[in-house]
Structure 1
Amino acid sequence: MSVTPVSPSLSTTTARLRAAGCVFAEDEAALLHSSARTPAELDGMVEARAAGRPLEHVVGWAEFRGLRYAVDAGVFVPRRRTEFLVDQAELLAPAGAVVVDLCCGSGALGAALAAGLGGAELYAADIDPAAVRCARRNVTAAGGRVYEGDLFAPLPAGLRGRVDVLLANVPYVPTGEVELLPAEARVHEARVALDGGADGLDVLRRVAAEAPGWLAPGGSLLFETSEHQAAAATEVATAAGLAARVVTCEDLYATVVIATRV
């Protein structure tokens, strides 16, 4: 005689997550209970979260600017602070904007910007095959295309000089500080999405050097950085011939550089 598995109670799940160090254990428990289709699936999800796997990887999606985007295992999870970067991009984008989401990860940034604009000519690229597979689900649904390769290399040559908004959520953690990141990022996200080289600005330098050739006149490169890197990051953009300025959001603890082709 088979026995049907019984789901743990919400309070039991909350207690287990709290014991594992989950700060928002009650909210996470409710989300896991609503996401699981069977008691067995719920048990597996709770076990994975308690073991330190990012909640977004466990449920398979992340909320970003009020919408849900697929986030597969190993793929960089879009941070809430990065919503500020997309907010700034939306303010700058003209009607019918050509948008490129570079180092796109899940593709949430470009897809969210297209949603906010009511549509855009959207392209995205990433060097990580897992990210590309995930991004294709999100970006294709937004009417865009995703390419696999190193920075600008895989993009269609016809985009040169046409890009109105270039989102580049480049990795900016200095190599020596990657091991200091929370385990959720350090263990479960691709290192290529985190490690920005010795001073954290290596990938940015490469993006900034090529950006003027891809941007339309008046087009802007937007990227996130840390507060203490902002001055150096701005200098990188200025050295590439772009007019750069820093904008911040204290509530989200976000620092964004907007670098425009004048």
Structure 2
Amino acid sequence: MAVLPSRPRPPHLPPRLFQAVVTRLRAAGCVFAEDEAELLCSAARTADELDTMVGRRVAGHPLEHVLGWAEFRGVRYAVDDGVFVPRRRTEFLVERAEALARPGVVVVDLCCGSGALGAALVAAVDGAALYATDIDPAAVRCARRNVGAVGGRVYEGDLYEPLPDALRGRVDLLLANVPYVPTEEVELLPAEARVHEARVALDGGADGLDVLRRVTAEAASWLAPGGSLLFETSERQASLATRIVASEGLTPHVVTREDLYATVVIGSRA
């Protein structure tokens, strides 16, 4: 299921434009200038549109915002301006969730952003039902396109607050890609994230785990027996994160994938 299919480079864009785009991107410090130029040239419908897109990229906008999509687990999902861009390392979280999933599983995706995580998971599991929430209206608008494409529902509000109460005790997999950057470190992030993504999707409070604490405080009441909470964190935060999970009655387990620099904590309800 591809939300946004790719388009071939239109014939009215002269081949010489490709090298000109590469030169502009390279001068702006884009490490993968050729790859980005290919994507931009393929997406642009006119030379003027290409010039505008390249200008935005050179000015520091994330490539995904310029294109209007991000690739996640081999599928292109819509990503609007200001919406958190799903990271490649987060594919590992979905991979671990898929390993736990069974046909007909009930999935909740908190802090869903574009909705790519939940959509990617339920697309891989027969009969899965998806409910997603985010507090950012721009993210909710974007997620409704991605999540709606797999038959899921998106609610605007703070964490569990907008979810149907009938889901309590019935959630098999609770994905929570919560912000986990400590407040004082947000300003150290690359400008692409710091300037162009919503701060609410990045700032995790003093130690980076404030939102996680709020998620785990209610997780057990929403999870079905045997259900699991899965979230991403940094390697240095994993020890404290597991203690937070255990303090709320869930059994924690840490899994890592070194090639993606990914650390995922799984908290299971007995």
> Distance in 1 between the 2:29 and 2:264 partners?
31
What aligned pairs does 1:133-152 form with structure 2 within 5 A after superposition? Answer: 133-152=141-160
Shift of 1:26: 0.6
Which of 115, 130, 136 is the aligned partner of 1:122? 130
Structure 1 runs (4+) greater than 4 angstroms displaced: 4-8
Shift of 1:118: 3.5
Code of the aligned partner of 1:182: P
User: Does the CA-based 8 Å contact 1:7-1:39 persist in structure 2?
Assistant: no
Question: Which residue is equivalent to 1:244?
Answer: 252
> Distance in 2 between the 1:8 and 1:120 partners?
47
Which of 25, 30, 48 is the aligned partner of 2:38? 30
- Cα–Cα, structure 1 residues 5 and 250, in superposed 2: closer, same or farther, change >3 Å? closer
Shift of 1:7: 7.8
> Distance in 2 between the 1:60 and 1:252 partners?
24
User: Does the CA-based 8 Å contact 2:111-2:159 persist in structure 1?
Assistant: yes
3-state SS, counterpart of residue 174 of structure 2: strand
User: Does the CA-based 8 Å contact 2:103-2:126 persist in structure 1?
Assistant: no
Question: Which residue is equivalent to 1:64?
Answer: 72
User: Does the CA-based 8 Å contact 2:186-2:194 persist in structure 1?
Assistant: yes
3-state SS, counterpart of residue 125 of structure 1: strand
Shift of 1:117: 1.1
User: Does the CA-based 8 Å contact 2:135-2:158 persist in structure 1?
Assistant: yes
Code of the aligned partner of 2:120: A
3-state SS, counterpart of residue 259 of structure 2: coil
> Distance in 2 between the 1:237 and 1:11 partners?
52
> Distance in 2 between the 1:100 and 1:84 partners?
17
Shift of 1:188: 0.2
TM-score calculated relative to the size of structure 2: 0.94
3-state SS, counterpart of residue 264 of structure 2: strand
Shift of 1:119: 4.0
3-state SS, counterpart of residue 226 of structure 2: strand
**Correspondence 1:159 to 2:164:** no
Structure 1: gaps (5+ residues): none
> Distance in 2 between the 1:63 and 1:52 partners?
19
Which of 187, 200, 204 is the aligned partner of 1:179? 187
Q: Deviations over 1:174-198 (max 9, x none)?
A: 0000000000000000000000000
Shift of 1:15: 1.1
> Distance in 1 between the 2:205 and 2:265 partners?
19
User: Does the CA-based 8 Å contact 1:75-1:190 persist in structure 2?
Assistant: yes
User: Does the CA-based 8 Å contact 2:134-2:157 persist in structure 1?
Assistant: yes
User: Does the CA-based 8 Å contact 2:88-2:260 persist in structure 1?
Assistant: yes
* Identical pairs, percent: 75
TM-score calculated relative to the size of structure 1: 0.97
Superposed CA RMSD in Å reads 1.2
User: Does the CA-based 8 Å contact 1:7-1:42 persist in structure 2?
Assistant: no
Paired residues in the alignment total 259
Question: Which residue is equivalent to 2:140?
Answer: 132
Which of 205, 226, 232 is the aligned partner of 1:197? 205
3-state SS, counterpart of residue 37 of structure 1: coil
Structure 2: gaps (5+ residues): 1-11
